[in-house]
Amino acid sequence: MTLHVHLLDEPSSSALTIFEGQLSDSVTLTMGPPQPGSAEYEILVAGRPKREYLTASPNLRAVVIPFAGVPHPTRELLADFPRIAVHNLHYNAAMTAEMAIALMLAVSKHLLPCDKALRQGDWRPRYGPNPSITLDGKTVVVLGLGEIGRRVGRVCAGFGMEVLAIRRQPQRGHAEDYPVKVFGLDALATLLPRAHALVIALPATPATEGLIGAQELGSMPAGSLLVNVGRGSIVDQAALYHALKAGHLGGAGLDVWYNYPADEISRAATQPSDYPFHELDNVVMSPHRAGGANDSEARRMKCLAEMLNIAADGNELPNRVDLGEGY
């Protein structure tokens, strides 16, 4: 039995070679803008499909978004096609989890201020009070126990931390291979006072918008850490800035933001927030690059091939998205 798959965006020649080398012989592949009337694909791989691409093939039964999350316009469009299943591709989970850990370590050990000083020949941070935070024996709350959060939790458990996690359906999902206690979102207010570190790995949805505000940050222990590799809008930027500036939060590692460049020219001069986070020594700033690496496209193609091979074998595609929830 043949499975017809259509890629809206044609990958580079090197990525396509990797993809085709991993793909089952029972998958027929087409690429580029589809032609209505002649399209026969059953699965469309597209992050931002147009309406005409969803109607071009009468056989279409699934859309694979080739990254994590669903762009808001795509989510609204797909709501008009309830018969079409939507799936994510979690190819960059490892990379994003690694960035979360890197941010946590950098901010807990005050690496950037020390690096900046030593580049000037200034050794005084070695001889003054050491503000580094020990993670061993502390508690981390992982907000979003998906593919990224699971990896973060595993590493934190290896550091000797108590791992508490929140996911949408706490009784469902993977059985973890490390000690972790899993809760529903309704437990957030109870868990935050225990969180020496909070790692956010949630998507942006109406339910997560502004989830962490002044009250939530204020309930965390003094000197605690926050790491966000989910979306900036999950944390109120004013509340976060003031909690860091006042010293209630010991530090933050941020890869996701509030203001993004509108065009190529503005990429060289766009502050990522309405507040001057760049003036704070207890913040490590990253320009939303956690999901990328020098092998990210190869990983995407391998992961996509594995996913499509599952469908070609007659099994259900993994990573089904609940459009009502947004992930």
Per-domain boundaries in the chain: 3-91+295-312, 93-285
pLDDT at 55 over 80: yes
pLDDT over 70 for what percent of the chain?
99
How confident is the model over 99-123, as a mean pLDDT?
97
Could you tell me the strand order of the sheet in which 139-143 lies? 181-183, 162-166, 139-143, 197-200, 224-228, 249-254, 283-285
- The topology under which CATH files domain 3-91+295-312 is Rossmann fold (3.40.50)
Residue 49, token pair as written in the block: 């499909």
3-class SS of residue 27: strand
- The CA distance from 191 to 185, in Å, is 10
In which band, very low, low, confident or very high, does the pLDDT at 173 lie, cut at 50, 70 and 90? low
Are domains 3-91+295-312 and 93-285 of this chain identical in fold? yes
pLDDT of residue 72: 86
CB contact at 8 A, 296 and 67: no
Neighbours of 268 (CB within 10 A): 7
pLDDT of residue 325: 77
pLDDT of residue 324: 76
Contacts of 148 (CB under 8 A, 6+ apart): 68, 90, 93, 96, 97, 100, 201, 229
Residue with token string 């490892």? 94
Domain 93-285 in this protein, CATH class: alpha beta
Instruction: Please name which of 199, 276, 214, 287 lies closest in space to residue 245, comparing C-alpha atoms.
Output: 276
